[in-house]
Structure 1
Amino acid sequence: MASYSIALNFEDGVTRFIECKDSEKVLDAAFRNKINLPMDCSDGVCGTCKCRAESGRYDLGDDYIDDALTADEAESGLVLTCQMRPSSDCIISVPTTSVACKTGQQTFAATVANVVPHNDAAIVLELDVDAQAPAFLPGQYVNIGVPGGGQSRSYSFSTAPGERRIGFLIKKIPGGVMSSWLERAETGTKLELTGPLGSFYLREVERPLLFLAGGTGLAPFLSMLEVLACENPQERVHLVYGVTRDLDLVLVDEIEAYAKRLANFTYSTVVADEASSHPRKGWVTQHMPAEVLNGGDVDVYLCGPPPMVDAVRTYFDDNAVKPHSFHYEKFTPNAVAKDLKGRAA
């Protein structure tokens, strides 16, 4: 019997994956997995279970009333989980917290397989997952516990979902909790990871994509590119990778490899340091040609430090650029992981 993977994205950033059997309703599958999605009548009458389907194919049937879900709402992607029967893998945004649905973050164990420094700029951490490969959406992150200190740090996956060996691109911070531990980390060390988390992830590709990466904000795009290379969409994909110094340009060979695997993928690298001899200097906002903005018919994904995110948003506003969608994630290199209430973990 066929079954489909359903990603439930809660408004507090937690993502839970459930398997939905063929002809099974999403609400029933969630309850079977002990996740109490919002509901009242479960008959398509009240609209309490209304969520948004971000991607995937499904059938809503005709057993619900217009007061619960209007034709315009259904056309826009809203669904009633008590009526929704998937016919493919789906991503569903749930307009409440995971705690309210009596679920929460998942933890899993992994073992240090490799630690590779890149100049003084970054470290690639590779882990082997002890059990089943973790499910996540390309672009999401996990909290990684730092051994011995009782602290965690948040890092985006740089590898694709479904792999037993997972990778992370970590900015090297002198005196940083994770950076200091990685300097002495030994292969075989056990780590605890919590997640997946985050609303920054690759949506269904329906138009050209513009990726804007700042420093180690490259990590989630490597995960996305691996997925795209396997799917080989017909839409154009362009990456602008901006850094402060020449030494901060890392894993460019991996980006070049994707340019060879993915027919419609192009990229450019940009260095802000005026003393650099790099052919493209300045900021990413100075290296977004009109053709990649496609007159606004483009989905923009941005991951970088807060000043970069603010600069891009200001650029779009000042130049009347209105992308079809704009997804972004701000990060600070030494940010402490947060719990579900936003407190330091």
Structure 2
Amino acid sequence: MSFQIALNFEDGITRFVECRPDETVAEASYKARINIPLDCRDGACGTCKSRCESGSYDGGDYIDEALTDDEAEQGYCLPCQMTPHSDLVLRIPSSSAAAKTSAATFGATLAGIRHHSPSTVEFTLDADERDGLDFLPGQYVNIAVPGTGQSRSYSMSSGPTQRQLSFLVRTVPGGAMSGYLTERARPGDRLEFTGPMGSFYLRQLARPMLLLAGGTGLAPLLSMLERMAQQPVGHPVRLLYGVTGDQDLVHLDTLADYAEVIPSFTFEHCVADAASSARNKGFVTGLIDSSTLHDGDVDIYLCGPPAMVDAVRGHITSLGVIPASFHYERFTPAAVHETAEAA
């Protein structure tokens, strides 16, 4: 028996290792040739101090100078001493290069393409080595655009256990991936991608959650919901989804399906266009108040274009509510991801 340990480095690259209950995370990492920061190996120096964001473990033996009681209560740990009781997600305070590792590259076949509207395309990939590809729900990969020498970053809308990888793309005039998907893409095309990457991913379900999506920023949140559909969720989960026009709305049926299988999940959508047929017209900020934020006892996941992300952050600040955690990701038309964490 072994557990899966996700090592998320400060440059956003994530590597996965298998760790037995009777070995430390550091030992398992070194066996996989991933050199996480390490000096003493006996819990005395604190060089390997990391933060566990999901899972349970035995912290092992160490001295206070290496890890204080307050740090341990906040989820900090020493990989050189800890042994897993479950799958774990660790944030490692070094770059992947310093650990002498890097993101993996995979080949894939374009399995399908769906044009939801003139502005939104969805495509699916069959990865050549799917069993060797792990990712955290919410993460992204860099996909090489066929025939261009360029690459673009897209979050998976599919969950980690689904065989096919799915992506939502907002098309833009002159865009490299937009041009490929709307003009040249055909099922059977060969593509290559690198990953997984990103620090925008689902953490442990510890309190009520508010998911906020702008446009194709819905993609990583769909991946998170797929994971939640496979495990008990003991807290309310609310998703607010905003788009510019009715034609930009996608996967409302999918969200309704998740509401059937995740008892605590509810969602609403809004459309900025005043001529929309949607019940809620305007922006997602109009759907956020102190009760939506559970007076701060909430974990927020926000993904969308920069203007939307900044507007939501500003609105929450204006309400005077400080959430327990706030994870957000901006994306630009060129699909360059910028992830951050607040609170």
TM interval, short-chain normalised: over 0.9
Q: How far off is 1:293 after superposition?
A: 1.2
Contact 2:290–2:321 (CA under 8 A) maintained in structure 1: no
SS at 1:231 equivalent? coil
Contact 2:210–2:298 (CA under 8 A) maintained in structure 1: yes
Summarize the Cα distance change of 1:320–1:290 in structure 2 as closer, same or farther, 3 Å threshold.
Answer: closer
Aligned-pair identity in percent equals 55
Distance between the aligned counterparts of 1:217 and 1:153, measured in 2? 15
SS at 1:116 equivalent? strand
SS at 2:147 equivalent? coil
Q: Are 1:74 and 2:62 counterparts?
A: no
The match for 1:341 is none
The match for 2:341 is none
- RMSD between aligned alpha carbons? 1.3
Contact 1:152–1:336 (CA under 8 A) maintained in structure 2: no
Contact 1:232–1:263 (CA under 8 A) maintained in structure 2: no
The match for 2:291 is 291
Q: Are 1:142 and 2:141 counterparts?
A: yes
Q: How far off is 1:21 after superposition?
A: 1.6
The match for 1:223 is 223
Q: What does 1:93-132 correspond to in 2, within 5 Å?
A: 93-132=91-130
Distance between the aligned counterparts of 1:121 and 1:256, measured in 2? 22
SS at 1:68 equivalent? coil
Contact 2:126–2:163 (CA under 8 A) maintained in structure 1: yes
CA distances 1:39-69 after superposition (whole Å, capped 9, x unpaired): 111111111111111111111223x211111
Q: What is the TM-score of this pair, normalised by structure 1?
A: 0.95
The match for 1:181 is 180
Distance between the aligned counterparts of 1:273 and 1:332, measured in 2? 21
Distance between the aligned counterparts of 1:325 and 1:175, measured in 2? 37
SS at 1:230 equivalent? coil
Unaligned runs of 5+ in 1: 339-345
Contact 2:331–2:337 (CA under 8 A) maintained in structure 1: no
Contact 2:290–2:319 (CA under 8 A) maintained in structure 1: no
The match for 1:54 is 53
Q: What is the TM-score of this pair, normalised by structure 2?
A: 0.95
Tell me which amino acid in the other structure corresponds to 2:70.
D
Distance between the aligned counterparts of 1:60 and 1:153, measured in 2? 39
Unaligned runs of 5+ in 2: 339-343
Tell me which amino acid in the other structure corresponds to 1:117.
H
SS at 2:67 equivalent? coil
Q: How far off is 1:337 after superposition?
A: 7.7
Q: Name segments (4+ residues, structure 1) moved above 4 Å.
A: none
The match for 1:193 is 193
Q: Are 1:252 and 2:268 counterparts?
A: no
SS at 2:107 equivalent? strand
Count of matched residue positions in the alignment of Structure 1 and Structure 2: 336
Tell me which amino acid in the other structure corresponds to 1:144.
I
Distance between the aligned counterparts of 1:176 and 1:275, measured in 2? 28
Contact 1:152–1:337 (CA under 8 A) maintained in structure 2: no
SS at 1:327 equivalent? strand
CA distances 1:46-97 after superposition (whole Å, capped 9, x unpaired): 11111111111111223x2111111221111111111011110000000111
CA distances 1:195-250 after superposition (whole Å, capped 9, x unpaired): 00000001111111100000000000111111111113121111100001111111
CA distances 1:165-191 after superposition (whole Å, capped 9, x unpaired): 110011122221111111221111111
Choose 286-295 or 233-242, whichever is displaced more: 286-295
2:63 to 62, 65, 81: 65
